[in-house]
Amino acid sequence: MNIFDGALTRLKSAAKIINLDKSILDSLSNPERIIELSLPLKRNNGKTEVFKGYRVQYNNWLGPYKGGLRFHPQVDMDEVKSLSFWMMIKNAIADVPFGGGKGGIELDPKSLDVSELEKLTRQFAKSLAPNIGPLVDVPAPDVNTNSQILDWVEDEYAKITKDKSKAVVTGKSIKNGGSLGREEATGLGGFFVLEELIKKLNFKKPLTVAIQGFGNVGSNIATILCSNGYKIVAVSDIKGGIYDSKEMGFNIELVRACRLEKGKLAGCYCIGSVCDLAPKNDGVITNEQLLELDVDILIPAALENVITKENADKIRAKIVFEMANGPTTVEADEILNRKGIMVVPDVLANSGGVTVSYFEWYQNMHKEKWSLEKVNEKLKEKMVKAFDEIWKIHKEKKVNLRMAAYILALQRLTKKAKIS
Ligand code: NAD
């Protein structure tokens, strides 16, 4: 099953439980607009290479399309469509006035130097400019994109449209209109949800945690959990992982520092990498082994489709906490459910990022600057509220948390349906 079919399978299951109107289900089963771009780049060696760019504007019943830009070799239409669909569900759950969108370029950003990356990003922004805007479609960061990339997109858009509000994208640098707290928001939002969940489950700290992916999301949630009584016993990035078999828990600050010191990154990416730490460490593990560790909480925080029907039976964690988008396939979900493993779905667990993106957009639109305390306080409020609403549906309808989350989203979308 491809990932978009998987996304629709979950939509249909939730629709069935609440007897969703067929016209709503049909409307939500297809994106409203698909943009496919050809992006020629003259490389520094004089040769021209053509890259494929995408933006899918899935649905805007709740507000402007909103979702990240991903630069990765695996980016294709099926992936971007799925990610934009999940953004629609996530934004409805987070109760922010946005619809779903997502975009990206099929590219390994490490293959370009910074000047080439800037040229390509600006070309992408120019091509997208007629179809994005603060009240139309608001991109943000995702895998391999950061505040620098979003600053370039904002700058290019402002040059073309003369719009100086900065609200066309979120995840910008602070000096360019970004919000305090956006960088850590996805990890912090996840932490707020996890704290609520362990209270409900009556789990006592210290709890052991394994995290796959050590980028923005993985490294931030690792730092926050580490200073709040959790033991991070394994972390990994694309090149592999490290495992603390004595289960003392890593000092995440040291891991981060080592990553920074050893990191060798083309362009402005992935400053440092735990893979450089791994070869010197006894506890070197593969990404596959990390997923199968006997820990309390497993946090996939890299890419989609890592827990599949092939390895789901080997998962030993008590909670799978999805910080990545789409890490668990439909088939794997069924196996985990059968095994009694609690899966906290991506659309809830990682919605802190878009929540603070909304705060950033709001501050830009209203020319406000919020303190970090205000941002984090409001983030906590929203995350706890979303968790409580989903938990209530989970209990009342006796459905798993993913179905409960989809039901909440579908109820909100139905109220704002635009069907003529
Ligand atoms: P990032 O580029 O900062 O980091 C990605 C991490 O995953 C890196 O450590 C990379 O080495 C690792 N990785 C890549 N391929 C891998 C593989 N095959 N196996 C193991 N590790 C691999 O990206 P990010 O922003 O941290 O995003 C991670 C996930 O979280 C994605 O699914 C993204 O869609 C999701 N997400 C991100 C945000 C956000 O605010 N950045 C918000 C919501 C969801």
Kindly report, residue by residue over 388-397, the tens digit of the pLDDT: 999 999 999 9
Report the distance separating Cα 215 and Cα 393, nearest Å.
32
CA 291 to chain centre: 19
- Per DSSP (E only), the strands in 198-266 are 208-212, 231-237, 240-243
Q: Is the dihedral of CA 218, 221, 226, 227 positive or negative?
A: positive
Ligand 1 site residues (CB inside 6 A) read 141-144, 186, 212-218, 236-238, 287, 301-303, 323-325, 350, 353
Identify any residues that bridge with 33 across adjacent strands, giving them in sequence order.
57
Pocket of ligand 1, candidates 237, 276, 286: which has the most ligand atoms within 8 Å of its Cβ, to mutate? 237
List the residue whose alpha carbon is closest to atom 43 of ligand 1.
350
Average pLDDT for 161-183:
97
Q: How far is the CA of 21 from the centre of ligand 1 (A)?
A: 35
Predicted confidence (pLDDT) per residue in 4-63, tens digit = 999 999 999 999 999 999 999 999 999 999 999 999 999 999 999 999 999 999 999 999
Q: How far is the CA of 144 from the centre of ligand 1 (A)?
A: 7
Query: pTM here?
Result: 0.94
Place of tokens 């000096």: 175
Residue 218 confidence (pLDDT) above 50: yes
Atom nearest to 323 CA in ligand 1 = 30
Atom nearest to 182 CA in ligand 1 = 40
Query: Under a CB-based contact definition with an 8 Å cutoff, are residues 402 and 12 in contact?
Result: no
* pLDDT value for 251: 74
Residue 249 confidence (pLDDT) above 90: no
Q: How far is the CA of 380 from the centre of ligand 1 (A)?
A: 22
Average pLDDT for 111-133:
96
List the residue whose alpha carbon is closest to atom 22 of ligand 1.
238
SS3 38: strand
